[in-house]
Structure 1
Amino acid sequence: MKTPGPAGRGLRLVPFRGLRYVPERVGSLAAVTSPPYDVVVRPDGLQHLESADPHNIVRLILPQADTATARHKQAAATLNRWLAEGVLAHDSEPTLYVYEQRNEEILQRGVIGALELSSPTDGIVLPHEDVMTHVVEDRADLMRTTAAHLEPLLLTYRGDGTASGATAVVERTVDRPSLLATTTEDGFHHRLWAVTDPTDRSTIEADLAHHQALIADGHHRWATYLRLQQEHSAPGPWDFGLVLLVDTARYPLRVRAIHRLLHRLPVTAALAALTGLFRVRDVDGPLPRALDALAEATTEGNAFLLAGDGGFHLVDRPDSALLRSAIPADRPASWQRLDATVLHAALVDRVWHIPDTPEHIAYIHDAAAAVEQAERHDATAVLMHPVREEVVRGLARQGVTMPRKSTSFGPKPASGLVLRSLAPDD
Structure 2
Amino acid sequence: MNPAGHSEATTRRGLELTPFRGLRYDPDRVGSLAAVTSPPYDVVVRPDGLHHLQCADPHNIVRLILPQAATSGARNEQAADTLRRWRSEGILTTDPEPGLYVYEQSDGDGLVQRGVIGTLRVTDPADQVVLPHEDVMPHIVADRADLMRATSANLEPLLLTYRGDGPASATAQLIERTADRPPLLATTTEDGHHHRLWSVTDPADVAKVQADLAQHQALIADGHHRWATYRRLRAEHPSPGPWDHGLVLLVDTARYPLRVRAIHRLLHGLPVADALAALDGLFRVRRLDVPLPDAMAALADAAGTGNAFLLAGDGAFHLVDRPDPELLARTIPMDRPMAWRTLDATVLHATLLAHVWRIPEDSPAHIAYIHDTAATVRKAERDGGTAVLMHPVHEDVVRDLARQGVTMPRKSTSFGPKPASGLVLRALDA
Letter in 2 for 1:3: S
Secondary structure of 1:243 counterpart: strand
Secondary structure of 1:23 counterpart: coil
Structure 2 counterpart of 1:97, from 95, 101, 105? 101
Write out aligned runs for 1:240-279 (5 A): 240-279=245-284
What corresponds to 2:229 in structure 1?
Answer: 224
Contact persistence 1:163–1:171 (CA under 8 A): no
Cα displacement string for residues 96-126 of structure 1 (whole angstroms, at most 9, x for unaligned residues): 0000000023211100000011001110000
Change (3 A) 1:168 1:284: farther
Write out aligned runs for 1:30-41 (5 A): 30-41=34-45
Contact persistence 2:166–2:172 (CA under 8 A): no
Structure 2 counterpart of 1:325, from 326, 330, 348? 330
What corresponds to 2:372 in structure 1?
Answer: 366
Letter in 2 for 1:75: A
What corresponds to 1:112 in structure 2?
Answer: 117
The CA deviation at 1:261 is: 0.3
CA distance in 1, matches of 2:274, 2:154: 43
CA distance in 2, matches of 1:6, 1:332: 23
Structure 2's unaligned 5+ residue stretches are none
CA distance in 2, matches of 1:56, 1:165: 35
What corresponds to 1:340 in structure 2?
Answer: 345
- Whether 1:420 and 2:426 are equivalent positions in the alignment is yes
Write out aligned runs for 1:85-164 (5 A): 85-105=89-109, 106-164=111-169
| Percent of residue pairs bearing the same amino acid type | 72
Contact persistence 1:157–1:214 (CA under 8 A): yes
The CA deviation at 1:242 is: 0.1
CA distance in 2, matches of 1:219, 1:285: 36
What corresponds to 1:375 in structure 2?
Answer: 381
CA distance in 1, matches of 2:280, 2:168: 54
Letter in 2 for 1:329: M
Structure 2 counterpart of 1:174, from 176, 179, 184? 179
Letter in 1 for 2:391: H
The CA deviation at 1:264 is: 1.1
- Whether 1:195 and 2:200 are equivalent positions in the alignment is yes
Contact persistence 2:80–2:150 (CA under 8 A): yes
Secondary structure of 2:116 counterpart: strand
TM-score (norm 2): 0.97
Letter in 2 for 1:32: V
Letter in 2 for 1:80: R
Structure 2 counterpart of 1:397, from 403, 415, 418? 403
CA distance in 2, matches of 1:338, 1:167: 34
Structure 2 counterpart of 1:28, from 32, 35, 59? 32
CA distance in 2, matches of 1:44, 1:353: 29
CA distance in 2, matches of 1:163, 1:317: 48
Contact persistence 1:4–1:209 (CA under 8 A): no
What corresponds to 1:233 in structure 2?
Answer: 238
Change (3 A) 1:267 1:65: same
CA distance in 2, matches of 1:378, 1:98: 45
Structure 1's unaligned 5+ residue stretches are none
Letter in 1 for 2:292: L
What corresponds to 1:59 in structure 2?
Answer: 63
The CA deviation at 1:45 is: 0.7
Q: How many residues are matched?
A: 424
What corresponds to 1:306 in structure 2?
Answer: 311
The CA deviation at 1:44 is: 1.2
The CA deviation at 1:161 is: 4.2
The CA deviation at 1:8 is: 2.8
Farther-moved stretch of structure 1 (278-287 vs 89-98): 278-287
Farther-moved stretch of structure 1 (75-84 vs 2-11): 2-11
CA distance in 2, matches of 1:386, 1:257: 4
The CA deviation at 1:219 is: 0.5
Secondary structure of 2:369 counterpart: strand
Cα displacement string for residues 54-77 of structure 1 (whole angstroms, at most 9, x for unaligned residues): 100000000111100000001000
CA distance in 2, matches of 1:9, 1:389: 26
Secondary structure of 2:28 counterpart: helix
The CA deviation at 1:163 is: 4.7
Structure 2 counterpart of 1:384, from 361, 367, 390? 390
Secondary structure of 1:25 counterpart: coil
CA distance in 2, matches of 1:263, 1:194: 45
CA distance in 1, matches of 2:262, 2:103: 24
The CA deviation at 1:13 is: 0.4
CA distance in 1, matches of 2:340, 2:222: 19
CA distance in 2, matches of 1:410, 1:337: 24
The CA deviation at 1:9 is: 2.0
CA distance in 1, matches of 2:344, 2:166: 30
CA-atom RMSD, angstroms?
1.0
The CA deviation at 1:315 is: 0.4
Structure 2 counterpart of 1:411, from 411, 417, 424? 417
CA distance in 2, matches of 1:196, 1:234: 25
Contact persistence 1:14–1:115 (CA under 8 A): yes
Cα displacement string for residues 295-334 of structure 1 (whole angstroms, at most 9, x for unaligned residues): 0111101000000000001000111001111000010010
